[in-house]
A = this chain, B = another copy of it.
């Protein structure tokens, strides 16, 4: 085995999904973006609309994020993170196998209890904010999966908002004790959650959190990380 190198030969290309206003809008791209920043790896972002994903890397990937690192292309956010940890082991995202397993559990919890409800709040907003040429594809692919129209899917979203806010309760308890989900320093669980809030902030026209939500200081700290890469997504859009 050759020793893993500590820096890529040139910037890692990160394909991201954009809306009509060029704002980045995938929670999974955001977490990879944070992972690259955590590891201080150079990145070059390439913007795609929904219908352009199949046009890169020979159509191998159906979703973003995708990275290209020299001749290597990797899709799926966990596969990308695994690749980055293996190839560039310095500034690890996971110091131990136990930390890795706990981030996997966090992702299972967050996806089931929070991310799914976020999508139920802003699915139609995503459609309406997508590039005009992407809207028909977004609608037909999502409606086939949801087995209903986007309009019907989000119809009760105001009434369901308390469930979403309630689902964040374990996070509030934890962040009453620590500045970050990872403890004194942010870890990949922070990036998973911050990326999802950035996604919502980029499209949603309903304030996801109450104006006095105790998650606000953590969101502020998180959006400030790494030179404020999350800052442009306007915290204001999240809070009632």
Which residues of A approach B to under 8 Å, CB–CB?
94-106, 108-109, 112-113, 169-171, 173-174, 177-178, 181-185, 187, 189
Contacts of A109 in B (CB 8 A): 109, 170
Q: Is the CB of A108 within 8 A of B183?
A: no
Please pick, from B98, B104, B183, the residue contacting A95 in the complex, using a CB distance under 8 A: B98
Q: Is the CB of B184 within 8 A of A97?
A: yes
Contacts of A101 in B (CB 8 A): 174, 178, 181-184
Q: Which 8 A-B pairs have the closest CB atoms?
A: A101-B183, A102-B102, A109-B170, A108-B173, A108-B170, A105-B174, A98-B99, A108-B174
Given A95-B96, A98-B95, check contact A105 B184 (CB 8 Å).
no
Q: In angstroms, how far is the closest chain B Cβ from the Cβ of A49?
A: 31
Contacts of A169 in B (CB 8 A): 112
Q: Is the interface of A mostly helix, strand, loop or mixed?
A: helix
| Cα–Cα distance between A171 and B112 once the two chains are bound (Å) | 10
Q: Is the CB of B170 within 8 A of A98?
A: no
Q: Is the CB of A112 within 8 A of B178?
A: no
Q: Is the CB of B184 within 8 A of A104?
A: no
Q: Is the CB of B104 within 8 A of A174?
A: yes
**Closest residue of B by beta carbon distance from A100:** B183
**Closest residue of B by beta carbon distance from A166:** B112
Given A97-B184, A98-B182, A170-B112, check contact A105 B104 (CB 8 Å).
no
Contacts of A171 in B (CB 8 A): 105, 108
| Cα–Cα distance between A178 and B97 once the two chains are bound (Å) | 11
Contacts of A173 in B (CB 8 A): 108, 112
| Cα–Cα distance between A185 and B96 once the two chains are bound (Å) | 12
| Cα–Cα distance between A155 and B171 once the two chains are bound (Å) | 30
| Cα–Cα distance between A57 and B177 once the two chains are bound (Å) | 29
| Cα–Cα distance between A187 and B183 once the two chains are bound (Å) | 18
Contacts of A177 in B (CB 8 A): 104
Known: A95-B96, A104-B177, A108-B174. 10 other contacts (CB 8 A): A96-B96, A97-B183, A98-B187, A101-B182, A101-B183, A105-B106, A105-B171, A108-B173, A109-B109, A112-B170
Q: In angstroms, how far is the closest chain B Cβ from the Cβ of A149?
A: 26
Contacts of A170 in B (CB 8 A): 105, 108-109, 112-113
Contacts of A185 in B (CB 8 A): 98
